[in-house]
Amino acid sequence: MSPNTSSSDSAANANQNSSKWDLGKFYQTLTYFEVLPWLQQIDVLGWLGTRNDPKPDPSVLAPLLAIVVGDRGMVGKQLTQFLGNSGYRIQSANFFAANATSTNAVTNADVVFLCLDALLNLNVDDSETLGNLDPNELIDRIKSWLKPDQDRMLFDFRQAGEQESATNPDQSNTKNLKEIWGILDDVVMGGVSASNITLGDRSALFYGNVSTANSGGFASVRSRNFEPGIDLSAYDGIALRVRGDGKRYKFMLRDSGRWDGIAFCASFDTVANNWIDLKIPFDRFAPIFRAKTVKDAEPIATEQICAFQLMLSKFEYDGALNPRFEAGSFRLEVEYIKAYSSSKLPQLVVVSPELNINPKAEHIEKIENQVRRSGIPYTIAKPIDLTDSSQSQAIALGQLEQLGQQNSNSNQSAKPPQPVSSLAIAQLCIEALKHNQATQKTYRITALPPKPSDRIAQTEQSKQTTSQTNPCAPGDWDCQFARLTPDIIGIN
């Protein structure tokens, strides 16, 4: 089917074939989406069209870009491993401008990690001394690396489409596209609608013919299920840029891998031949099962989005008809699909070990203050005593001034704090990216004492730790980040 087929020709073809149900297409749909898993076992040679790996990994999505400044430090090493395992694209950077050529051309980074613990390894006779480090210049470089918004790109069809037109005469990018997005038309219920998806110049093109013959009336493209699901809990909704034909379409999300389960749907109208930008909040997605609202459904689990779907349908919801539906040809171009955030998530995460009597403390403090004045959404983590350890550890987050006052008034004979492991700080940095309540705050971080082996003693100690020194349970990041107040920023 050609995307340039005229409406009259397409409608005529649809009418002529109105009663011819395509068994082959029905079978292809079931095998593409692994509706019949047992076919995998018998189709060893792939003659039936099944796949050895029918579910795409989330790493095929547009990757997030993280820049790690100080990747050779204790926390930087742990962060690099964490980010790599999470599918990030990682770029290392130097503190000093003279050695920052590898990141000079980097733009649109999603996050920068500034690991100041790496500066503690500098010797006084190094050519790269803290005295040569200009905090203003360092923060200006970080600003130039970061992208202007905090959205997460999921599918960027612009770049893939450009590459297809310029360098891929074999249409390899379209082939990759169809490894993720498959056709799901009304053939599954006896209909004869037919659609396709391909890459255009700077967009993906969803097009075809929709017919109401045989009680049908919808055409769609749906992604295969992602495993594990995609965590979009830090975002507020889905943003799309589309150019349509004046019809009303649906965008759908699924938080379950079930083939015929609940889909969370939102309808949107297009303007013929005009590009429009859409933002659909997650709370606008209604739980729908076979075009009917599921009234007692749980809210969408944004932490495990498994599949995406675009649809043109004769029906809206609960028996209502689509007021802009017309049988015949349709055409919808999509530049991108991304998750958007209206709130400020941290884009700059700083690790700055607490230094009491140390000649480098003054330089570190200048960098911290410049971060606070920069206007970049930031989080500053200040472990009291950082140690190079890959041991998992429970930690508590406290207000910098409050904890400082507590320590100054504490008993002189109190035991020194337990060292905080670099692994625990790296985990904290990753968690901060998901919480807008972590933004514009400086946390003083302490290690919680190890759990005693005796169950009764453990219970009593847990009560004391939670109620007196740390009201949040270990691992309750919502509580940990939310309970402290933002920094008071002075402008010099």
CATH fold of 7-54+154-340 reads Jelly Rolls (2.60.120)
Angle between helices 361-373 and 135-145 (to 10 degrees): 40
Torsions phi, psi for 94 (to 5 deg): -100, 150
Q: Is the pLDDT of residue 469 over 80?
A: no
Phi, psi of 194 (to 5 degrees): -145, 130
Look at strands 218-223 and 307-313 and give their pairing. Answer: antiparallel
The Cα 249–Cα 269 span in angstroms is: 6
Domains 7-54+154-340 and 65-149+344-482 are alike in CATH topology: no
Tokens 């209206």 map to which residue? 342
Percent of the chain with pLDDT over 70: 75
Q: What is the pLDDT of residue 170?
A: 46
Confidence of residue 256 (pLDDT cuts 50, 70, 90): very high
Of 16-25, 29-38, 212-221, 233-242, least confident by mean pLDDT is 16-25
Residue range 172-189: mean pLDDT, rounded: 85
**How many CB atoms are closer than 10 A to CB 353?**
26
Q: Fold for domain 65-149+344-482?
A: Rossmann fold (3.40.50)
- Looking at this protein, which amino acid is placed at residue 161? G
Check if the beta carbon of residue 206 is closer than 8 Å to that of residue 335: no
Statement: residue 319 has pLDDT above 90: yes
Q: How far apart are CA 480 and CA 461, in angstroms?
A: 19
Average pLDDT over residues 250-255: 98
pLDDT of residue 408 exceeding 50: no
Kindly list the strands in the beta sheet with 89-93, ordered across the sheet, starting from the edge strand earlier in the chain: 89-93, 65-69, 111-115, 348-351, 378-383, 441-447, 395-399
CA dihedral of 280, 281, 282, 288, whole degrees rounded to 10:
-50
What's the predicted TM-score (pTM) here? 0.76
If one counts every other C-beta atom within 10 angstroms of the C-beta of residue 395, the result is: 22
Nearest to 240 by CA among 148, 159, 338: 338
End-to-end CA distance of the chain: 65
For residues 107-112, average pLDDT:
90
Residue range 39-72, pLDDT digits in tens: 556 555 455 555 555 566 565 677 889 999 999 8
Predicted pLDDT at 28:
81
Q: Given this model, what pLDDT does residue 334 score?
A: 97
* Chain Cα centroid distance, residue 392: 25
Higher pLDDT, 23 or 459: 23
pLDDT band at 411 (very low <50, low <70, confident <90, very high): very low
Q: Is the pLDDT of residue 400 over 60?
A: yes
Helices (H), 17-90: 23-32, 38-42, 74-85
Residue 455 vs residue 190, higher pLDDT: 190
Mean pLDDT of the region 193-220: 94
Residue spans of the domains in the chain: they are 7-54+154-340, 65-149+344-482
Q: pLDDT at residue 308 above 50?
A: yes
Specify which of 85-99, 237-251, 332-346, 363-377 reaches the highest per-range mean pLDDT.
237-251
